[in-house]
């Protein structure tokens, strides 16, 4: 490996590092580290309404499929 | 379903299509409490612009934003439930609940919804919400946390990159590498390390500098020294040529230290946040009577001579003199007096005491800084300033260690200057780097972080960093009585059936009658019959200050004080003579006879005796300092086997008593809950506040017992002891490692990879040892 290859690789690394630093600073600034437990729990909770059977739905369900 | 309240909550959850809560919850909610219509009415005070000024931010023309503290959150499903429910309210613009701090940031359109409506909706779900007054310190803490994260990010990224380059350098050193490549790798490492040294390691320099200025060498002095010398040395080698560079060590060292300190402050901040959530932001309003008009005004606007109306169940807003009405007030949080104090015309009332029975009209004689309450708070500041300082183990070791290292490095340098001038600089440098006090400086924060996060899980919040170490040295514990050793509320201690009804029957009748009342004595009855079905009462009549009458199954009963209830009925009162001192008697009668007499008194907490015994077993002295009446204090002390007690102590006397103990050489821990305990809590070397106590008490203490369990005091003391033991082991090990490595470095035998390995392993051992704290 020649020195020029190494220079090229190091230059690439430098660019990556700049992006890494910018990325993580943005994440910190936008509050992504403020609540470390929340997102892990939030993903388990379904937010889509069809997943929540309303009282009316449940009753309708019982009529069509008597158990 | 235990009551109609729960049923209403469940109904409103299901009606709103939030039934998934029941599938997702992982912990049962706190047991329900009634939502009183009166409580809901009080929420409308939060809509008052003067009150809102302190916690509401205007985000736009009509949109407002506030932070709410949610009480009663037990698991993630609760948070989801609240978030979903608030979001679907008309007029709410956004809502976001933080899982860790249980705080919700809500913004709403004030034309479409009121803050009180939002609070009411939360209360209808079975939770309790009150606005959080974000103060300056909070803002600063958030900013510091972000800055710390940025420092860790920089140190982490740089350490990872430099480590990779270092692998290349080490491998090159082993297999051979061309000189220009070495130079290239070193320069690149240098570039990466500059932000670490100039930005990430900043807190260490700052702390070391302030330590040096005040003449105390703290742990950050050797840390800063190691970072600076390693960097300057490596820079020298990079520019001038030489054998070793230490960029990888700098990056890793800084990353390690920043992370453990982050964990330590994280554990403490979590405690502080949890404790802040306890502090309720009361609407500081008073009902002022002016020219026959009654209206709510902020307490700050009250003037001397104003007339205010204090309703039953409300706190008195200012010091004053009663001009109309008769009632009794509860001053237990201010004076420690456990019994209600009767107040009639011309009696003085203190700001902060609770009016129990009937409305009072009070003429204001002192507001703000002139109140008795404010006087006690001033005493707190004085006590804080006079608090005896305890020197900390880590700082003692640090100053000793720094001198040894500096002396040794100087000596080695002088010797090598005479032996081989060319090598002298490098060897001195390797001495300083090898002794890089990584493990030594991790020893204390790692133990504190582990102990703090363990205690948090048990509901013990350690608010101040020094508390853990001080706990281990406590020789004497001082308890307050009312609200600390005792429950702080009257409870039924004896039932004397005087007619043909059994104890349970008469209790049931009494509780059924009392369910309409809000008097503290009434609550004691409700507590005793928790799970039983109460009887239906018709024609209930609540006579404030005297008692209640009502009809059950066609029979008319009266309950209350002797004069009101028995109305001259003859009864055999012989058995009542041996009632415990300080008890209040409540009489239950029907039209012809006395059915039963109940004795109510403030009883000891269930775990009080166990706690005192456990403390004595550990050889720790115990005393009681109370503001209550002598008989009541003596009675409690006798039951607990405490011989050293003082009654009727005002805050100032309590504080002087504490100073006397401290002068005798005792290291004193204080446990209290009331405003009157606050000066002693701040003056004691370490102090505990009951979670159920007042805001002033928890703000003045080092540790808050969230669950108000007294045995937690013993748990904390034991944890303090084991934490100190772990700190000692860690410091000993780290110092031993450094001292062993020193001679080898001095003779020039330590190669960089050995130094790096040794540092990592010694740090790892310290951290693992700290994790044993469970």
Whether B480 is catalytic is yes
| Structure token digits, residue B20 | 């998934």
pLDDT score for A60: 42
Is a pLDDT exceeding 70 seen at residue B448?
yes
Average pLDDT over residues B717-726: 91
Residue B494 above 50 pLDDT? Answer: yes
Alpha carbon distance B266, B450 (integer Å): 11
Residues B591 and B499 sit within 8 Å (Cβ to Cβ): no
* In the block, residue with structure tokens 């890089």: B436
**Element at B585 (helix H, strand E):** strand B584-590
**Cβ(B587)–Cβ(B562) under 8 Å?**
yes
- Which of helix, strand or coil describes residue B633? helix
In chain A, where the domains are located: 3-64
Lowest average pLDDT, out of B170-174, B504-508, B579-583, goes to B579-583
CB B497 within 8 A of CB B506: yes
Q: Do B24 and A44 touch (CB under 8 A)?
A: yes
Least trusted range by pLDDT, from A45-59, B492-506, B550-564? A45-59
**Sheet strands side by side (includes B285-290):** B293-298, B285-290, B307-310, B360-366, B319-324, B348-349
Find, among B199, B208, B221, the residue nearest to B155 by Cα. B199
Could you give phi then psi for residue B315, rounded to 5 degrees?
-85, 145
Per-residue tokens: B35: 């939502």
Confidence bin at B2 (pLDDT 50/70/90)? low
Among A11-20, B132-141, B247-256, B355-364, the least confident range: B132-141
pLDDT at A7 over 50: yes
Of B99, B161, B180, the CB nearest to A35: B99
DSSP secondary-structure letter at B281? -
Confidence label for B156 from pLDDT (cuts 50, 70 and 90)? very high
Q: Share the mean pLDDT of chain B.
A: 81
Is residue B282 pLDDT above 70, yes or no? no
Q: CB distance B181–A3 less than 8 Å?
A: yes
Lowest mean pLDDT segment, chosen from B452-461, B537-546, B616-625, B716-725: B537-546
> Does residue B455 contact residue B719 with C-beta atoms inside 8 Å?
yes
Res B250: pLDDT: 86
Give the pLDDT confidence score for residue A59 in this predicted structure: 44
Euclidean distance between the first and the last CA atom of chain B, given in angstroms as a whole number: 38
Binary contact (B15, A45; C-beta < 8 A): no
The pLDDT of residue A50 is 41
Name the band, by pLDDT with cuts 50, 70 and 90, for residue B403: confident
Burial A20-54 (b: 16+ CB within 10 A, else e): ebeebeeebeeeeebbeebeebbeebeeeeeebeb
Burial classification of residue B68, based on how many CB atoms lie within 10 Å of its CB (0-12 exposed, 13-18 middle, 19 or more buried): buried
Per-residue confidence band for B573, with pLDDT thresholds at 50, 70 and 90:
low
Q: Tell me, what's the pLDDT at B428?
A: 76
Q: Which two tokens stand for residue B57?
A: 């931010």
Distance from CA of B21 to the nearest CA of A (A): 9
Would you say residue B540 has pLDDT above 80? no
In sequence order, what are the residues at sequence separation of 6 or more whose Cβ sits closer than 8 angstroms to the Cβ of residue B610? B710, B711
- Reported as a single tens digit per residue, the pLDDT across B220-243 is 887 888 888 889 888 988 998 877
Residue of chain B with shortest Cα separation from A2: B181
Closest CA to B33 of B11, B5, B12: B5
Nearest CB neighbour to A52, from listed B17, B161, B192: B17
Encoded tokens for B532: 């039983």
| Cβ atoms B129, B104 nearer than 8 A | yes
Q: Which residues share a beta bridge with B307?
A: B289, B363
* Number of Cβ pairs < 8 A linking chain A and chain B: 71
Angle at Cα B83 formed by Cα B82 and Cα B88, nearest 5°?
100
pLDDT at B281: 55
Question: Between the CA atoms of B700, B703, B708 and B714, what dihedral angle is there, to the nearest 10 degrees?
Answer: -130
Which pTM value belongs to this model? Answer: 0.73
pLDDT tens digits along B286-297: 888 887 777 777
What angle do helix axes B76-87 and B115-124 make, rounded to 10 degrees? 140
Q: Which residues contact B734 (CB under 8 A, 6 or more apart)?
A: B437, B439, B440, B442, B443, B762, B766
Q: Which one of B47-51, B251-255, B513-517 scores highest in mean pLDDT?
A: B251-255
**Cβ atoms < 10 Å from Cβ of B327:** 23
Contacts of B467 (CB under 8 A, 6+ apart): B686, B702, B703, B720
Residues in B whose CB is inside 8 Å of some CB of A read 14-15, 17-20, 24, 76-77, 79-80, 97-101, 142, 146, 149-150, 153-154, 157, 161, 178, 180-181, 184-185, 188, 192
Residues of chain A with a CB closer than 8 angstroms to some CB in chain B: 3, 6-7, 10, 13, 17, 20-21, 24-25, 28-29, 33-38, 41-42, 44-46, 49, 51-55
The answer, yes or no, to whether residue B751 has pLDDT greater than 80, is no
Q: What is the reported pLDDT for A58?
A: 44
pLDDT in tens, B102-112: 888 888 988 88
What is the three-class DSSP state of B69? strand
DSSP state of A33: T
Q: What is the pLDDT of residue A48?
A: 53
Burial letters B677-693, b for 16+ CB under 10 A, else e? bbbbbbbbbbbbbbbbb
Mutant choice from A27, A45, A49, A55 vs B, greatest count of B C-beta within 10 A: A45
Is residue B164 predicted with pLDDT exceeding 80? yes
Sign (positive/negative) of CA torsion B155, B161, B165, B167? Answer: positive
* Predicted complex ipTM exceeds 0.90: no
**What is the average per-residue pLDDT within A32-45?**
78
Q: Are B308 and B302 in contact (CB under 8 A)?
A: yes
| The most confident of A24-28, B45-49, B309-313, B438-442, by mean pLDDT | A24-28
Give the H or E element holding residue B327. strand B327-330
Q: How far is B144 from A28, CA to CA, in rounded Å?
A: 12
B771: pLDDT strictly greater than 70: yes
Closest CA to B455 of B716, B277, B725, B264: B716
Confidence of residue A64 (pLDDT cuts 50, 70, 90): very low
Note the pLDDT of residue B611.
92
8 Å CB contact between A38 and B73: no
What's the farthest any 2 CA atoms get from each other in chain A?
78
| Burial classification of residue B469, based on how many CB atoms lie within 10 Å of its CB (0-12 exposed, 13-18 middle, 19 or more buried) | buried
- Predicted pLDDT of residue B545: 64
Give the mean pLDDT of B238-264. 84
Using a CB-CB cut-off of 8 Å, the residues of chain B touching A20 are 157
Q: pLDDT-based confidence at B199, cuts 50/70/90? A: very high
For B689, the enclosing helix (H) or strand (E) is strand B686-690
Residue B154 with chain A: CB contacts under 8 Å: 21
Q: Which residues of B150-179 are buried (b: 16+ CB within 10 A; e: fewer)?
A: bbbbbbbbbbebbbebbebbbeeeeeeeee
Contacts of B184 in chain A (CB under 8 A): 3, 6-7, 10
């Amino acid at each position: 490996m020649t020195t020029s290859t190494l220079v090229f690789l190091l230059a690439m690394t430098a660019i990556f590092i700049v992006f890494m630093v910018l990325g993580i600073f943005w994440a910190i600034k936008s509050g992504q580290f403020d609540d470390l437990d929340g997102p892990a729990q939030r993903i388990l909770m379904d937010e889509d309404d069809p997943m929540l059977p309303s009282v009316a739905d449940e009753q309708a369900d019982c009529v069509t499929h008597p158990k | 379903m235990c009551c109609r309240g729960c049923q209403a909550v469940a109904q409103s959850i299901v009606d709103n299509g939030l039934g998934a809560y029941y599938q997702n919850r992982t912990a049962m909610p706190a047991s329900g409490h009634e939502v009183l219509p009166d409580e809901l009415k009080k929420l409308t005070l939060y809509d008052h612009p003067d009150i809102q000024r302190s916690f509401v931010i205007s985000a736009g023309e009509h949109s407002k934003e506030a932070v709410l503290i949610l009480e009663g959150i037990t698991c993630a499903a609760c948070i989801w439930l609240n978030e979903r429910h608030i979001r679907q309210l008309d007029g709410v613009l956004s809502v976001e609940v933080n899982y860790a701090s249980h705080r919700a940031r809500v913004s709403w359109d004030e034309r479409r919804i009121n803050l009180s409506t939002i609070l009411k909706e939360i209360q209808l779900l079975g939770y309790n919400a009150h606005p959080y007054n974000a103060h300056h310190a909070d803002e600063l803490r958030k900013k510091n946390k972000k800055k710390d994260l940025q420092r860790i990010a920089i140190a982490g990224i740089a350490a990872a990159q430099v480590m990779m380059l270092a692998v290349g350098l080490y491998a090159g050193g082993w297999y051979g590498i061309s000189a220009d490549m070495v130079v290239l790798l070193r320069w690149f490492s240098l570039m990466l390390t500059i932000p670490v040294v100039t930005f990430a390691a900043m807190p260490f320099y700052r702390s070391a500098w302030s330590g040096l200025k005040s003449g105390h060498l703290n742990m950050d002095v050797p840390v800063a020294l190691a970072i600076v010398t390693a960097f300057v040395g490596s820079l020298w080698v990079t520019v001038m040529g030489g054998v070793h560079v230490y960029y990888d060590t700098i990056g890793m060292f800084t990353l390690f230290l920043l992370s453990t300190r982050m964990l330590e402050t994280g554990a403490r901040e979590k405690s502080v946040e949890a404790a802040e959530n306890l502090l309720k932001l009361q609407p500081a309003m008073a009902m002022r009577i002016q020219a026959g008009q009654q209206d709510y005004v902020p307490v700050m606007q009250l003037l001397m001579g104003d007339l205010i109306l204090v309703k039953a169940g409300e706190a008195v807003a200012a010091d004053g003199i009663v001009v109309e009405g008769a009632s009794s007030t509860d001053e237990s949080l201010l004076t420690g007096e456990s019994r209600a104090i009767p107040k009639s015309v011309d009696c003085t009332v203190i700001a902060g005491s609770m009016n129990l029975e009937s409305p009072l009209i009070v003429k204001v004689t002192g507001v703000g800084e002139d109140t008795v309450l404010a006087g006690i708070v001033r005493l707190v500041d004085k006590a804080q300033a006079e608090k005896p300082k305890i020197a900390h183990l880590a700082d003692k070791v640090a100053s000793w260690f720094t001198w040894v290292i500096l002396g040794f490095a100087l000596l080695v340098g002088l010797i090598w200057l005479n032996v081989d001038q060319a090598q002298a600089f490098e060897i001195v440098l390797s001495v300083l780097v090898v002794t890089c006090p990584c493990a030594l400086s991790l020893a204390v924060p790692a133990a504190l972080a582990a102990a703090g996060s363990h205690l948090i899980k048990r509901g013990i919040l350690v608010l101040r960093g020094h508390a853990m170490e001080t706990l281990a040295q406590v020789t004497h514990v001082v308890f307050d009585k009312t609200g600390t050793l005792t429950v702080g509320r009257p409870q039924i201690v004896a039932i004397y059936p005087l007619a043909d009804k059994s104890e349970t029957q008469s209790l049931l009748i009494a509780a059924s009658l009392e369910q309409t009342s809000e008097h503290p004595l009434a609550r004691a009855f409700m507590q005793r019959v928790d799970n039983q079905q109460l009887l239906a009462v018709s024609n209930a009549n609540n006579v404030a200050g005297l008692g209640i009458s009502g009809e059950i199954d066609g029979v008319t009963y009266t309950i209350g004080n002797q004069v009101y209830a028995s109305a001259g009925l003859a009864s055999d009162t012989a058995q009542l003579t041996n009632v415990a001192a300080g008890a209040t008697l409540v009489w239950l009668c029907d039209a012809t006879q006395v059915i039963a007499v109940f004795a109510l008194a403030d009883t000891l907490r269930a775990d009080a005796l166990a706690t005192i015994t456990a403390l004595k077993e550990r050889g720790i002295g115990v005393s009681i300092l109370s503001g209550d009446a002598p008989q009541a204090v003596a009675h409690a002390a006798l039951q607990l086997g405490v011989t050293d007690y003082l009654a009727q102590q005002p805050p100032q006397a309590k504080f002087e008593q504490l100073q006397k103990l401290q002068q005798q050489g005792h290291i004193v821990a204080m446990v209290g809950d009331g405003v009157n305990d606050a000066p002693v809590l701040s003056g004691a070397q370490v102090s505990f506040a009951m979670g159920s106590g007042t805001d002033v008490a928890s703000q003045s203490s080092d540790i808050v017992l969230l669950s108000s369990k007294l045995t937690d005091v013993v748990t904390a003391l034991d944890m303090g002891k084991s934490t100190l033991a772990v700190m000692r082991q860690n410091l000993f090990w780290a110092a031993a490692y450094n001292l062993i490595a020193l001679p080898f470095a001095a003779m020039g035998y330590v190669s960089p990879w050995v130094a790096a390995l040794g540092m990592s392993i010694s740090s790892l051992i310290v951290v693992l040892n700290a994790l044993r704290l469970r």
